[in-house]
Amino acid sequence: MRIVYHLGVHCTDEDRLVRCLLKNRGVLAQQGIAVPSPNRYRRLLRSTLEDLKGSAASTETQALVLDQIMDEDEAERLILSWDSFLSFPPWALQGTLYNVAGERARGFTQIFPDIEAEFHLAIRNPATFLPALQQLINVKSPKDILSAVDPMSLRWSEMVRQLQRHNPGVPITLWCDEETPLIWPEVLQAVSGHAPGTELIDTDELLAMIMNDIGLSRMKAYCIEHPPQSIAQRRRIVTAFLEKFARPEKVEVEVPIPGWTDEYVAELTDAYLADVERIRRMPGVTLIEA
């Protein structure tokens, strides 16, 4: 068995991926893919992590935890998704992006040291990620996370290197949140590992957020009449309908940070794109791209 850890990050997926896979758990189970409800493992894994204090769990502990997570007697692939695997939101920005990501991920994999692991996660342009993270934190307990960091110095590649350093040999699959509407089927397939051609239901939640109802309905009808013959063709179709039917308030992201000019946001974006290029060249990392 392999355990797939979908690591988030915050302000990217917001549980859309696991919700979609849960709706398809029946067809996925037929392929040996187990998708338990997050309620069954998030609190459990956190408490087990604290009890182990970085040590590897015994065979008995592994079996006990798995028994509480899974209904299936066995599976080829177990999907675990939580955007706080690497950190809770208030501590996601401590000088760098997720500065204990590698250690945290290692701690969770040590709950199942005898089972192979995979890491999957989205990253996001700091120009929009940092304001969104600040807003997320403010919902529960206002805390200024931006005053003590230089946004221009933040690099997702450093977090990826940290994951690799503490978890050697664990494959990492990564994608940019901004491109997710175009690559959503590929993201779902990469995480779940389902066979090509598998028909999943209710895969339109993400597009429904950014495309109006008329556009989504017309796009579905078009795809029924003209089934896409390739991934590239499907992406061209989605792009064309988004250009015409996108919800402006969802695709035009405002950056409500005092002092952040359009020029500064552009510089942050350029630095992010350069960092993505850095990640693309990293051994052991698969980058899903539009």
Kindly report the CATH number assigned to the domain that includes residue 55.
3.40.50
Q: Which residues constitute the domain of residue 115?
A: 2-199+257-288
Average pLDDT over residues 100-106: 97
Residue 144 pLDDT: 84
Q: Which of 35-44, 110-119, 200-209 has the weakest average pLDDT?
A: 200-209
Residue 186 pLDDT: 96
Average pLDDT over residues 103-119: 97
Question: Bridge partners of 287?
Answer: 174
Cα–Cα dist 21/23, whole Å: 5
Tell me whether residue 28 is in a domain.
yes
Query: What confidence tens digit (pLDDT) does each residue in 213-252 have?
Result: 999 999 999 999 999 999 999 999 999 999 999 988 776 7
Tell me whether residue 225 is in a domain.
no
Tell me whether residue 210 is in a domain.
no
Residue 255 pLDDT: 67
Average pLDDT over residues 16-35: 97
Tell me whether residue 41 is in a domain.
yes
Tell me whether residue 190 is in a domain.
yes
Residue 249 pLDDT: 73
Label residue 73 by pLDDT band (50, 70, 90): confident
Tell me whether residue 252 is in a domain.
no
Query: What confidence tens digit (pLDDT) does each residue in 118-160 have?
Result: 999 999 999 999 999 999 998 877 778 888 899 999 999 999 9
Q: What percent of the chain has pLDDT over 70?
A: 99
Chain-wide mean pLDDT for the chain?
94
Tell me whether residue 34 is in a domain.
yes
Residue 65 pLDDT: 97
pTM higher than 0.85: yes
Tell me whether residue 265 is in a domain.
yes
Q: pLDDT higher for 209 or 167? A: 167
Total of domains in the chain: 1
Instruction: Quote the distance between the C-alpha of residue 37 and its chain's center.
Output: 17
